[in-house]
Amino acid sequence: MLALIFPSCVGGSRGLVSAVVEVAPHYHEGGSFETAAPVCDPWWEAFHEGALDRFMKQALSRNLELQAAAARIAQAEAAFRQAGGQLLPQVTADGSFGTRWILADADDASPNRETSADLGGLLDWELDLWGRLRAARDARRLEREATVADWQGARLLLSVAVAETYFELLEQQRQLRLLEEQIEAGQTLLDLTELRFGQAQSSVVDVLQQREQLAATKTLVPIVEGRLRQLQYALDVLLGRAPGTGSAVPERKVPVPPTLGEIGVPMDLWRQRPDLLAAMNRVAALDREVAEAIADRLPRVSLRTGLSSLGSPRIDTIVANALAAVTAPLIDGGVRQAEIAKRRAALQEALATLSNAYLEAVRDVETALALERAQGKHLHLLEEQLDTAQSLLRESRNRYRQGLTDYLPVLTALVTVQRLERDRITSRREWLSARIALHRALGGPMGKQSR
């Protein structure tokens, strides 16, 4: 078992905060797979779906939620620059110009005019002796890095949503095509049953049973068509388009996942998962905020210089001054000490949350691996069952034509075959969903990223 300890690096803190996470050095479910080459970069290219690749490019460049996440990076960058600017001297300037008219007496209407000018400048520079300003700047830098990781996580979730929607669209398209084929086959069988009934070779019950089975199949068509429209509109929004204006998904067979690539070890998640990267940076930012609160209890030293000119601005009227100011808190009712305690508690909370997030990330990978293996076995067994059901249907039809049995075995076998055919398509898509969930749990990879 591997223990991961996250210490606080705050200078002057009275103790270290830590969380311990124990995980195995390898995935428990990973040993049951034969891996091929490393995972493609980006991950969706492993499916070799040209239409999916095009949709991904459109979504990653046009999706509005992703653009909002990128704007939050710009905000975090501005906050970092603001914090860094506090380390530099602050220079301000002010000036004024005035004119005053004075009447000499009541009989003299001609005014006397006086003008005055006031020019000045001030330089104020806090000497960061205890690192308070540097800690604040570092905290904003780490928050900016966390925001970048949030953007990367948004890209990952967007790619997962596009892939899920794309493959479910393929599934529903194939389901609709299969239903059309089943309806056609059912109608042919109904015609045959009615013909045999007209020749007194079958009963009216056989005809009614086949009509009911055909009607049940037809009722599935509107549901599939509605789901197709819903998915198409969802894909349009993911691509940053108005619903109904996006590109159509070309109809094709639902594929099976490619051979699984190298999945790595649990420790790799710290550098692969954007949510873990964001959480780690926020923990580090809270650590620096603790340092800022500790330094805030110490005296502040500032250098101030100024220039001013009163009256008519001339070189001989300029007054210069300079001073060093020291500000130290004496009695604050425990406000600053309480602030330190509050930030340390927030740091401990974030650290525990990060540790739990790592455990959940490992769980996500283990679960996805187990589900993928189960889905693969399920599809294999389903296809075996379908082969048997198709053989039973053929034999039942032959015996029915020869008059050796009634229609009920044929109907039962037909219903089973059609259900298994639809289930096979769904099982293929669920296997793909399990693979997509694995890539989400592993953090991609997402390939080259640019904002």
Tell me what pLDDT residue 17 has. Answer: 45
Q: Determine what percent of the chain is predicted with pLDDT higher than 70.
A: 85
pLDDT at 46 over 60: yes
Of the pLDDT bands very low, low, confident and very high (cuts 50, 70, 90), residue 110 is low
Looking at residue 23, its pLDDT comes to 77
Residue 77 has what pLDDT?
93
What kind of architecture, by CATH, is found in domain 2-90+131-293+341-442?
A: Up-down Bundle (1.20)
What pTM does this model have? 0.85
pLDDT value of position 225:
96
82/403: higher pLDDT = 82
Q: What average pLDDT does range 205-222 have in this prediction?
A: 92
3-state secondary structure at position 309: strand
Which tokens is 23 given? 């995980």
Q: How confident is the model at residue 279 (pLDDT cuts 50, 70, 90)?
A: very high
Mean pLDDT in residue range 135-141: 94
Residue 14 pLDDT:
40
Which has more confidence, 113 or 363? 363
Distance (Å, whole) CA 118 – CA 94:
8
Lowest mean pLDDT among 39-43, 105-109, 236-240: 105-109
Looking at residue 7, its pLDDT comes to 42
What are the Cα distances from residue 416, in Å, to 108, 244, 269, 389, 410? 117, 36, 44, 7, 10
More confident residue, 427 or 16: 427
> Using CA atoms, how far apart are residues 270 and 351, in angstroms rounded to an integer?
14
Question: 257 in helix, strand or coil?
Answer: coil
Q: What pLDDT does residue 300 have?
A: 86
pLDDT: is 49 or 123 the higher one?
A: 49
Residue 141 in 3-state DSSP?
helix
**DSSP secondary structure of 166-187:** HHHHHHHHHHHHHHHHHHHHHH
pLDDT of amino acid 450: 66
- With 90 as the cut, is the pLDDT of residue 307 above it? no
φ, ψ for residue 7 (rounded to 5)? -85, 155
| pLDDT confidence of residue 116 | 65
290 within 8 A of 346, measured Cβ to Cβ: no
pLDDT at residue 137, as a whole number: 94
Kindly state the percentage of the chain with pLDDT values over 90.
56
Of residues 316 and 122, which shows the higher confidence score?
122
Question: What pLDDT, in 10s, does the model give residues 373-423?
Answer: 999 999 999 999 999 999 999 999 888 888 788 888 888 999 999 999 999
Is the predicted pLDDT of residue 277 greater than 60, yes or no? yes
pLDDT band at 37 (very low <50, low <70, confident <90, very high): low
126: tokens are 């806090």
For the stretch 5-17, pLDDT in tens is 444 443 444 444 4
**Nearest C-alpha neighbor of 392 from the set 419, 423, 413:** 413
**CA–CA separation, 436 and 250 (whole Å):** 20
The predicted pLDDT at position 233 comes to 95
The string of DSSP letters for 85-125 reads HTTSPEEEEEEEEEEEEEES-SS--PEEEEEEEEEEEEEEE
- Mean pLDDT across the chain: 85
Amino acid identity for residue 224 in this structure: V
DSSP state of 129: S
Please name the residues in contact with 377: beta carbons below 8 A apart, sequence gap of 6 or more: none
pLDDT for the residue numbered 228: 95
Read off the amino acid at residue 326.
Answer: V
Bridge partners of 4, per DSSP, are: 21
Residue 342 has pLDDT above 60, yes or no: yes
- Predicted local confidence at residue 38, as pLDDT: 54
Higher pLDDT, 19 or 195: 195
Give residue 259's pLDDT. Answer: 87
Residue 350: which H helix or E strand, with range? helix 335-401
In the predicted structure, residue 296 carries a pLDDT above the cut 60: yes
- When pLDDT is cut at 50, 70 and 90, the band that residue 35 belongs to is low
What's the pLDDT at 95?
Answer: 73
